[in-house]
Chains A and B, each alone.
Chain A
């Protein structure tokens, strides 16, 4: 009981990648769910706090996805600030999303405040019939850039849980990355660019 209560650390995890590769569904299908497609979730989800135990260590994750802002190339430095882990997603049925990975890594390099941030590459949508990027290509890219690698399908949940667990495990094994972090260092205003919420204006529907 006491062990369960004890939280080892809190981590900021980002999910980045091109529009349409399934970033949000990765965030959603983290654990078993009963998602109702009828649900008009149009205020939009900003981020989630999740509790994850990896090898007996309980960690609290604040998981951010880009909430569509990547479409307008307006991800701000504050989005990256303080993140210990990043999940870089491409769609295995969309080669273009794979070719954009270099651009995302550059952006990460530019804005990340932690040089040893743990990176995981996720080839998503392996449930799709049409595959344009084979597993070896993904693996090779990941090795070249010292990233963890996994193929996943948010639709079938395959790989999604494993992706988060492996990423967190690696962060925990990199003590300099989290040891000295104190709680509450993150403000909810950190995203900096609040125009998304304003833009929703009168069009917001119910959750």
Chain B
């Protein structure tokens, strides 16, 4: 898929020992994350185990990296697998962008790569992180 960026490509070929497994391997019986969520680029810890609830939901996120000059600022993809938490302080480290149409995008707090997630200002208790945009280790 041409739209996938460099970082996503890296994610498909992770170093031994910390590879992303199938969805089942990431969930415990309650649908919480077994592993820590970390930034794909700098390994900054985003969320500790057992704090995120897995949900399926369709949310549109801009691409992480520009693929071409033609690509518009808000070109992106609809993602479906997310972790959700109800309080921003549940995160270990996370950054929030300025607001665009009532949405704040979540980014890595250290290297600022993103968007890795999504927060609608009108839904005060829903902070989403896309499974595809973080590593699980």
> Contacts of A67 on B, CB cut-off 8 Å?
98
Establish whether residues B110 and A31, one from each chain, have CB atoms under 8 Å apart when the complex forms. Answer: yes
CA distance A43 to B64 in the complex (A): 12
Establish whether residues A207 and B93, one from each chain, have CB atoms under 8 Å apart when the complex forms. Answer: no
> Contacts of B87 on A, CB cut-off 8 Å?
183-184
> Nearest residue in B to A199 (C-beta to C-beta)?
B98
Interface size on A, residues (CB 8 A): 42
Total contacts A-B at CB 8 Å: 113
B100 on the interface (CB 8 Å rule)?
yes
Within 8 A of B (CB), among A163-190: 183-184, 187-189
Contact A202 B73, CB 8 Å, known A45-B96, A47-B95: yes
CA distance A102 to B87 in the complex (A): 36
Main secondary structure, interface of B, reads loop
> Contacts of B111 on A, CB cut-off 8 Å?
33-36
Establish whether residues A183 and B89, one from each chain, have CB atoms under 8 Å apart when the complex forms. Answer: yes
A96 on the interface (CB 8 Å rule)?
no
CA distance A3 to B111 in the complex (A): 27
Establish whether residues A189 and B104, one from each chain, have CB atoms under 8 Å apart when the complex forms. Answer: no
Establish whether residues A48 and B113, one from each chain, have CB atoms under 8 Å apart when the complex forms. Answer: no
Q: List 7 A-B contacts (CB under 8 A).
A: A41-B112, A49-B94, A51-B93, A60-B89, A67-B98, A183-B87, A188-B96
